[in-house]
Structure 1
């Protein structure tokens, strides 16, 4: 009986030792206790609750652990220095451009160090400092997310308020618009307009298309003639002197405008003035107009008689025009007057007086 109890106790002790050894092996494998480790340094402004023994992961694989966390000996250095122990079989994957940042594992908030492999060809030697990247804390992210949600809710409330204010008018406008569209489509389908003919009438649609083609052909012909012809439009569009022609036409139109303004002023003066033309056009008394016409006739008769007398040589002026002897005598008198000193002095004296 005693031997059986000792055997049972021995079996229990052996099992306990095996379990203890297995636990140590599992924990050592997870914590990289039995692996050959090399150290690296990290510098953070805030480790955000990172603890000693936290895992170090590279691409999601645990490659080491956090060995030490603390401040530097210099009081002026406010950064937090972290020492990592990395399994030597992963050292070749840590390059000079690798980075490290602190991340959160799960909802419980367990912290770990995440490494990036980097792309540089040179390996970062053990003992060196890995460049760190400050990551946002989960609490900060949750705070930002909360603000985003609050802003979204506020925007939704504003949109709902706008829709409530515009609901009646908007529905009414949409209703009227839909009615108008329905009326237009009904008219297009059952009416007799151009759109109905284009869509539903084969013959009418073809006729309209032929007319459009003919109009397009005529337009092309006109454009072709303008481009290749020698007319005014060709010169205005394609000739180098077209600009000068346009300026000339502009000046001519300006002159015509000025002339039309002057004609308008003359017409207004005739209409509103008190001159002869106004009397001739707007006079109420026909006797005055008749008298004026009689005087014009008398003046014309007198001019006719005077011209006839001059032509016949009547009078002094007529004799001067017709009789050459009188002209010669007058020339001799003027020549003798020029040669006579007494006569010249007499003429000068009379002119000075």
Structure 2
């Protein structure tokens, strides 16, 4: 009897351990079907998104509020970023998205400057008020070879 009680306790301990491990794996692994209820997506059209990668941070006032879910080429040869944003964040329709850099040669991220409009973007809407990234190499070469004005 004493042996079977010990085996039951060890079995329960193992089951609880596996459940805890599974929960942590799903939370840290950012499984898309579990997080989809807490986020929504909007698209942003840019002339140039050089250096922006899938998974790059989306920030408002330096606070991460989402990430870049996809990068594609849209109509009229513009870059289309799919931004996955937290449901808590409401983005007014007069907001602006800019490609920024963490330091001089750091990773690129998207900075959202929220507007003051009453109407908000709905999931799937397109943000067209954007500011593309600066191409540092071309600016330096223009300055170095005298074609900068």
Q: TM-score, normalised by structure 1?
A: 0.32
Structure-1 separation of matches of 2:85 and 2:69: 10
User: 1:100/1:21 Cα in 2 relative to 1: closer, same or farther (>3 Å)?
Assistant: same
User: 1:89/1:81 Cα in 2 relative to 1: closer, same or farther (>3 Å)?
Assistant: same
SS at match of 1:82: strand
Q: Contact 2:70 / 2:82 at 8 angstroms: preserved in 1?
A: yes
Which deviations, in whole Å up to 9, do the C-alpha atoms of 1:268-312 show, x marking residues without a partner? Answer: xxxxxxxxxxxxxxxxxxxxxxxxxxxxxxxxxxxxxxxxxxxxx
Deviation at 1:116, TM superposition (A): 0.5
- The yes-or-no answer on 1:135 pairing with 2:133 is yes
Partner residue of 1:44 out of 40, 43, 46: 46
Deviation at 1:107, TM superposition (A): 7.9
Larger Rg: 1
Deviation at 1:99, TM superposition (A): 0.9
SS at match of 1:89: coil
Give the structure 2 partner of residue 21 of structure 1. 23
Partner residue of 2:96 out of 82, 96, 99: 99
Deviation at 1:115, TM superposition (A): 0.3
Deviation at 1:79, TM superposition (A): 1.3
Partner residue of 1:59 out of 44, 53, 61: 61
Gaps of 5+ in 2: 145-149
- The yes-or-no answer on 1:87 pairing with 2:86 is yes
Structure-1 separation of matches of 2:53 and 2:131: 18
Alignment of 1:114-133 (within 5 A): 114-118=111-115, 120-126=116-122, 127-133=125-131
Structure-1 separation of matches of 2:138 and 2:38: 37
What is the root-mean-square deviation of aligned Cα atoms in Å? 3.7
User: 1:9/1:58 Cα in 2 relative to 1: closer, same or farther (>3 Å)?
Assistant: same
- Between Structure 1 and Structure 2, the one with more helix by share is 1
Alignment of 1:280-299 (within 5 A): none
Deviation at 1:47, TM superposition (A): 1.5
Structure-2 separation of matches of 1:9 and 1:48: 54
Q: TM-score, normalised by structure 2?
A: 0.66
- Between Structure 1 and Structure 2, the one with more strand by share is 2
User: 1:140/1:19 Cα in 2 relative to 1: closer, same or farther (>3 Å)?
Assistant: farther
Q: Contact 1:35 / 1:87 at 8 angstroms: preserved in 2?
A: no
Gaps of 5+ in 1: 148-353
